[in-house]
Structure formats: structure tokens, C-alpha cells
Amino acid sequence: MTVRARPWLNRVHPYEPGRPSLNSDGSMASNESPIGTSPEVAVAVSAALSGVHRYPDPLADELRKELASQHGVHPDQILVGNGSDELIYLLAWAFLAHGGRAVCADPPYRIDEISTFVVDARLNKVPLKDWAHDLDAMSQVEADVAYIVNPHNPTGTAHSRAEIEGFVELSRAALVVVDEAYIDFTDDPEQTTVMPLAREGDVVVLRTLSKVYALAGLRVGYMVASRDVVTTLRKIRPPFSVGALAQAAALAAVRDNAHRQRVRDHVLRLRGEVTCLVQQAGYLAVPSQANFVLVEVPDELAFVAHLASHGIEVRPGSVLGLPGTVRISVPSDSGLALLRRALSSKPGKAR
């Protein structure tokens, strides 16, 4: 007897991760932090090593309490996950499985799309308008869950809090999920985040420690939501999905506000530099509020190959649903020098 996957899984196109480059400075495919994590993280992880024969704290209580106090919410409104990607899967299981309906932008953040298909739900993808979510069109779609990614990946565009508040008011979705993975890189994070709505239980906000906190390799994300949503997800989550070292690292990282500020300052400065470089080379760059820049190129394959020959890996737009573009993550200072050299000559024709 051969086992076969459930028929609906034929619709699932698996996630294609970005490739790292040989030289770490050339890795510009995955929106990681180019300047590493807080020095406090190594200290905290070393100390936590003595406890790894024990299971981790299932709910990451210490981390939850710290995050709750930072965001002015009750700890029971927070759920920590193995990256925010795990939380997106939990939302799909709980609120979309077997015939539920979701609405998102087209192109979406790929995990929103994949998790919807994995639980056999229907997804309505609404084309972007001027590289940003078409909030008016999305608000008219009846759905169990609406996904807003703010700033959006892969375009880097952001909506104001007022725009998202307006969407929440009009939306015909039962639950609005706002993924704020890149919120720290917006011009004014405090005024852009919809955390005040999450505090009231009106939306779910997703945050990750993979970007500004530079812990992509340890897999920690969290959500802020109503207690009801958190209680529901706690029923179905794997109890020990966030390891003890990851919890210790995360706690140290979120307490190091100065390091977070350094990463933010670096990203904002180099995002400007990258934007200038690609514009001077004659390409259109979408104005970005994230830690990457989306660039329109005449020949995507040739552009990607040209950068690769200079030791740089970027994300081809066609795997992100935007053929004819590439997404370049904001690099380190040495990475910027690599990029400057690469862009000083033109790509040839792709074979």
C-alpha cells in the first residue's frame, strides 16, 4: 500500500528560501540583520545551557511578561511561537481549516498563502495597487481571516495606522491579522503600529525576533491579540515549540533597546544608500519602509546572475510573485561596497 497526501495538497507550492552567499556580506536574499545580534544574547544563551536537559517553559513566561510590559498589554494577550511563521500556521488551523476563507494581498507573504492551502481553506488574493495593499478592495471580501503585512514583504510599502484602522472598521473579515515583522524600520514605528488595536483585542499583531533583533537562526516570534484568540491557539499549539536557548536569547535581545536602535539606524542609513545606488544605475526602486528594497529590472535572471558573479545573493522577484523585480536586503557596509562594485557594470543578457 502506498500512502498519498490529501488531494488538496496538490495545490501547495512549497516555500523557496533565499540562498546565503559564500561571503556573509553578500547575503542579501533573506532580510536578515546585517550587523548581528545584541552582545547580551551570547551571555544569556551560555547561562541557559546548564538547563537544557529540562523541557523549556511551555509559554515562555518570562519573555511574555517582558513583552507585555513593553507593549502595555496583559501577558495572557501574548503567545510566543517558533518564529512568527508558526503562529501563522496556528491561526490557519484554528480559524481557516476545512473550507474557511482568507483574503490577502497579491503577491502575499508566502507563508500566509501556504498555511491557508495546507489547512484546505480558500484564499482570495487582491492585487496590489501602486505596490501597496488595496485596502478598499480587500475590505469588501467576506472572509474568516484578512492578512495585512505592514510594511509589506516583498514590496516594502507601508500603510498609516489610520488607514489600517479604516480597513478594520469596514472589513468583512471576522479576524484581521497585521504582520508587523518590519515595523521597526518604518519612519515612525510608534505612530504606525496598530498595537493599540491589538491591546483592545480588535486585531492580531504579529511580531518577529528575526529582523530587527537579529535572531532569525533561533526562531522566535510572538503575537499580541485578545485573550480569546490566544486561549484558542494554546489548545492546539505544540507545547514546547520554543526552545530554552531561544527563550533566553529573546529575553536578552528585547531588553537591549540600544542595540535595537543601532540596527534600526544602520538599516535606515543603508536603505537610503542602496536606493541611491540602484537609481543611479538606472533602475526603479520602490520606496521602502522595510530592511530591503524592491527593484524593477528589465531582465531578472541576468540581473540576479550578474550580482551572483560579484558574490551577492538577492531574491528573484518571480519566486515572490513579482516577476521582473529583485528584492535586495539592506546589507552591511562591506556588503554595500560589493553592491556598488557590481552595479558599476551592466548585466549581460541571460542565457
Residues that bind ligand PLP (CB under 6 A): 31, 83-85, 109, 149, 153, 179, 181, 208, 210-211, 216, 221
Closer to ligand PLP by Cβ: residue 38 or 84: 84
The nearest distance, CB 17 to ligand PLP, in angstroms, is 11
Closer to ligand PLP by Cβ: residue 144 or 179: 179
The nearest distance, CB 193 to ligand PLP, in angstroms, is 14
Question: How many Å apart are CA 89 and CA 118, to the nearest integer?
Answer: 9
The nearest distance, CB 337 to ligand PLP, in angstroms, is 25
Closer to ligand PLP by Cβ: residue 101 or 110: 110
Q: Are 95 and 143 in contact (CB under 8 A)?
A: no
Closer to ligand PLP by Cβ: residue 186 or 281: 186
The nearest distance, CB 70 to ligand PLP, in angstroms, is 17
Burial environment of residue 217 by CB neighbours within 10 A (0 to 12, 13 to 18, 19 or more):
exposed
Residue nearest to ligand PLP (CB): 83
Distances (CA, A) of 320 to 82, 108, 215: 23, 8, 23
Closer to ligand PLP by Cβ: residue 248 or 343: 248
Question: How many Å apart are CA 158 and CA 163, to the nearest integer?
Answer: 10
> How many other β-carbons are positioned within 10 Å of the β-carbon of residue 306?
19
The nearest distance, CB 103 to ligand PLP, in angstroms, is 16
Helix 300-309 vs helix 333-343: crossing angle, to nearest 10: 120
Q: Which residue has the cell 491557539?
A: 233
Closer to ligand PLP by Cβ: residue 215 or 278: 215
The nearest distance, CB 231 to ligand PLP, in angstroms, is 22
Q: Are 294 and 130 in contact (CB under 8 A)?
A: no
